[in-house]
Amino acid sequence: MENIILVVDIETTGFLNQGGLIIEIGIVKLNLENGEISPAFNSLIREPTFSYSHTKGQFGWIFKNSDINPADIAEAPSLESQRDIIQFLFDKYYATAYNKEFDFGFLKDRNFSIKELPCPMLTAAPIINLPPDPGFTDTKLPSIYDAWYYFFENDFYLQDNRGLDDAMHEAKIVYKMYQLNLYDISLIEENKKTEITSKTENNTVQKRSLRPEYKYLNSKKKWGYIDKDKNIVIDFIFDYANHFSEGLAIIELDGKKGYIDETGKIVIPCIYKDAWSFHEGIACVSLNHFEYGYIDTSGKVIIPFIYNSFSSFYDGLACVIWDSRYGFIDKEGQIVINNRYSDAHLFKHGLAEVEIYDKENDENNWGIINKSDQEIFPIIYEDVKILNEKLIKIKQEGKYALADHKGKFLTSFKYDKIWDFAGIDKDIAFVKIGQYLGCINSVSDEIIPVKYRNYNEFKETGIKEITTKSRIWKILELQIIFPFG
């Protein structure tokens, strides 16, 4: 009998705990005997509460970074109308998803039953072994690009952020790991949930890279922590467990969240309905899902529970909502920037993207401010995004321009698309004019002319055009991880 599993990818309007909605589901069958990948399900999805509010702000990323049109979602089949065929597939085959906790979290929240295989992202993490992000102790979890270019370093891939295409590429990664005996499917033959049986040699817990994992005990999912060798470091006693950040991790017991240290000791009691990871020594928490405040690493409340929404602290400021408008506070809870914005993003490199809704013209206008609430770029544009410590991309009348952080435009509005920066030093970005592709560097110079009609032509010819520069530009030497797009 063919050894077939499912690989699933969903597109959503945001995170589950933000109230995000599923807008697309792609499922492929992967034959582990020969690597054959075939579509099993592919459809846009409309959930009952989808509305205009799910196309902007924290929910609007997918519509800016894919070709999915909100109008298409309004006309898409309902999730309930597709439930039987999706559940039929899950009943017949074991399944996984690259970021399984994210994708299956949504699906199980919608009452799908899934026979789960291990998470490819968690499996790949100790193999790829990326260094931790600043302020974190865990090995960084590999993005789909990190995994793709680790296992297929010579094969060009630019993500579409569409369910079926993403699932097909993720299936190739799973099959590659399976070929290398890195991906465990033993539970299919054993017909039981994967159990981690390795034990630590002694009870002394040393500082190490830990990651959350779960297993089923008496038919109940329980979470604990394992190290890179799959040794159990913290027992499976929690109802939920998150990754460590700044030495602490969120755990849940009996519906309430708290924090543990790397020995497994509960250092902040489980009293919160919502809790987020520590960043810059502060974490956002809520006692009731409605009012949010902040605590320090000792659990002391340093900013009271008075805000309707929240963010972590970045660049010393947090973006919060009161009276239905966005503003910014400092770590003492003092208002630094008043709540005059209809939407706002976190500060980075000393700047933030902000929006003011023009009710008269029914327009969402964006601009850039600094920490003094001065407009570096006026709030008149269709879209803005801080790309790195030097460049900003600005959209007007459907075209993009590049600008610096001082308020100066470096190009005209000539690009149809500008991707995020990537590469070893985050100094390479794709740009597109019409159907033509090229590359810019971190100061907006077109280091590969915008004249290549497709990715294969770009890969074969465009890279060679700049081999006479001070660096030898080759895909393998660049180690480009191509941006979402």
Judged against a pLDDT cut of 50, whether residue 477 lies above it is answered with: no
pLDDT at 202: 39
CA pair distance 36, 167, nearest whole angstrom? 13
CA pair distance 363, 213, nearest whole angstrom? 45
Contacts of 452 (CB under 8 A, 6+ apart): 436, 437, 438, 458, 461, 462
CA pair distance 206, 2, nearest whole angstrom? 44
Name the band, by pLDDT with cuts 50, 70 and 90, for residue 181: confident
Nearest to 415 by CA among 399, 395, 435, 429: 399
Name the band, by pLDDT with cuts 50, 70 and 90, for residue 205: very low
Name the band, by pLDDT with cuts 50, 70 and 90, for residue 165: very high
Nearest to 317 by CA among 304, 331, 300, 303: 331
On average, the pLDDT of the chain sits at 83
Average pLDDT for residues 334-341, to the nearest whole number?
Answer: 94
pLDDT at 443: 82
Contacts of 174 (CB under 8 A, 6+ apart): 5, 7, 30, 96, 120, 183
Cα four-point dihedral sign 295, 300, 302, 305: positive
CA pair distance 178, 33, nearest whole angstrom? 10
What letter would DSSP give residue 472?
-
CA pair distance 159, 347, nearest whole angstrom? 26
User: Is the pLDDT higher at 367 or at 428?
Assistant: 367
The domains of the chain, with CATH numbers, are 4-191 (3.30.420.10), 207-307 (2.40.128), 310-386 (2.40.10), 415-485 (no CATH)
CA pair distance 215, 226, nearest whole angstrom? 12
Contacts of 262 (CB under 8 A, 6+ apart): 137, 205, 207, 208, 210, 244, 247
pLDDT in tens, 422-467: 654 567 778 889 888 888 888 888 888 888 776 566 655 555 554 4
pLDDT in tens, 287-307: 987 888 999 999 999 999 988
Chain length of the chain:
485
